[in-house]
Amino acid sequence: MKASIQLTMEQTTMFRRLPSTLFGLLLIFMLVACTPATTTDESALSDDEPVIVDDSSADSPDQASAEPPAATLTIDGREQNAGITGYCWQQGDGTSICADGIGFTTATDPIPAESTFLAQFEYMLDAKPGRVQLSIFPASQPVLTGPKESDWRYWKSVPGDQFTLSPDNNPSIELTLEPGLHVFNMFVDWLDYGSVNYGFLVAVGGASEGELPDTNLGALLEAITPDGRVIYLPVQPPSEDSMMALLEGTLVEVDGCLRIEDGHYADGWLVIWPFGSDIRVADDGIEVINEEGKPVARVGEQLGAGGGAIENTRGMESINEMIPGMPIEGCRGPYWVAAPLQTMVE
């Protein structure tokens, strides 16, 4: 476990950056200035465990829940539940569980508002926070756009306005905003509990659902080997951005899934391949090819892949939503969301 790292929510809010109009895509999960896989301890977390930070020197209160509290935004009697972009939340044993998302997380449907309106927030925790900061920016750059049935959307931060709110459980603020879709990112810090980044989506001055970016999905490709086995290739949606960490290891096939083995996890990292990737199976092996049909990776050979790690459940679930058919039975995380790969030298 990474037990010696002391994190604040402002540091963990965007740990790893996923590709923007893709993954573009989380995935923020949820972690948005990506951490190289080489920093992962060999006793690292399973795919079902979030990062645990040792806070044993601090007093940990008895808490009704190990999860951060829910929050809502109300405008003119209409209420919206908050998305949770990331958090660090203390447990009863003196540790803090930290999780992060693949973008600023909001509800799918925006809450309507006039140009000038009163925004009323509420957190479902009796204790008063020590600090509340609100940032508002245009919902113009999706980090991830998900299926229409998804409850959440994910956004990339762009320049906006900053506000400091009263440290209460139900702060309010009167705002005047330009017409359009806006992301509200609220950072709330409770001294004895932890901190959370909440997200809301507001349509000001008649902006509508129709102005939201179109759904943009990846694909789960399949190929059949000469001996009849199915090989899966999860492919990201189109992306303009990508994470820039580096993972080096051997590309292997485990139960039909292509993984990079680098010694940190028993089965290695399940690769989420860049948009345009395809799979080619022949008697002499399994290759991944790019949009031009040129090989970029081959099973059994070394591979250096740029990209970023997604190791917690929240982040992997967000990626699964973007690729119909995921998760694949037997193909567990952690995920490596790969950047575009160089063509192999023949």
On the question of pLDDT at 109 being above 60, the answer is: yes
Over range 135-159, report the average pLDDT: 73
pLDDT at residue 102, as a whole number: 67
Distance CA 45, CA 264 (A): 10
Q: H-helix or E-strand containing 245?
A: strand 245-254
Torsion of CA 187, 192, 193, 197, to 10 degrees: 10
pLDDT at residue 118, as a whole number: 97
Q: What is the pLDDT of residues 2-39, one digit of tens each?
A: 333 333 333 333 333 333 333 343 433 333 333 333 33
Contact 128, 169 (CB under 8 A): yes
On the question of pLDDT at 48 being above 90, the answer is: no
Residue 255 CA to its chain's centroid (Å) = 26
pLDDT at residue 171, as a whole number: 96
* Number of C-beta neighbours around residue 108 at 10 A: 17
Q: Which of 137, 127, 146 is nearest to 200 (CA)?
A: 137
Distance CA 47, CA 311 (A): 6
Band of pLDDT at residue 158, cut at 50, 70 and 90: confident
Q: Which residues contact 345 (CB under 8 A, 6 or more apart)?
A: none
Q: What is the pLDDT of residues 236-278, one digit of tens each?
A: 887 766 677 899 999 999 999 999 999 988 889 999 999 889 9
Q: CATH says 9-211 is which class?
A: mainly beta
Q: What is the pLDDT of residues 203-229, one digit of tens each?
A: 998 765 545 544 467 888 988 888 888
Q: What is the pLDDT of residues 160-210, one digit of tens each?
A: 899 999 999 999 999 999 998 999 999 999 998 999 999 999 999 876 554
Query: Which residue, chain included where needed, has tokens 């795919």?
Result: 47
Pairwise pLDDT comparison (199 vs 147), residue with the higher score = 199
Over range 324-332, report the average pLDDT: 87
Q: Which amino acid is at 53?
A: V
Over range 72-97, report the average pLDDT: 90
In degrees and rounded to multiples of 5, residue 215 shows phi and psi of -60, 140
Pairwise pLDDT comparison (150 vs 329), residue with the higher score = 329
Tell me the pTM. 0.51
Q: Which residues pair with 84 in a beta bridge?
A: 198
Q: Which residues pair with 72 in a beta bridge?
A: 81, 122
pLDDT at residue 240, as a whole number: 66
Band of pLDDT at residue 65, cut at 50, 70 and 90: low
Q: Which residues contact 223 (CB under 8 A, 6 or more apart)?
A: 230, 231, 233, 279, 280, 281, 286
pLDDT at residue 247, as a whole number: 93
**Domain range summary for the chain, segments of one domain joined by +:** 9-211, 219-338
DSSP-H helix ranges across the chain: 9-12, 313-322
Q: What is the pLDDT of residues 279-318, one digit of tens each?
A: 998 778 899 998 888 899 999 999 999 999 999 888 898 8
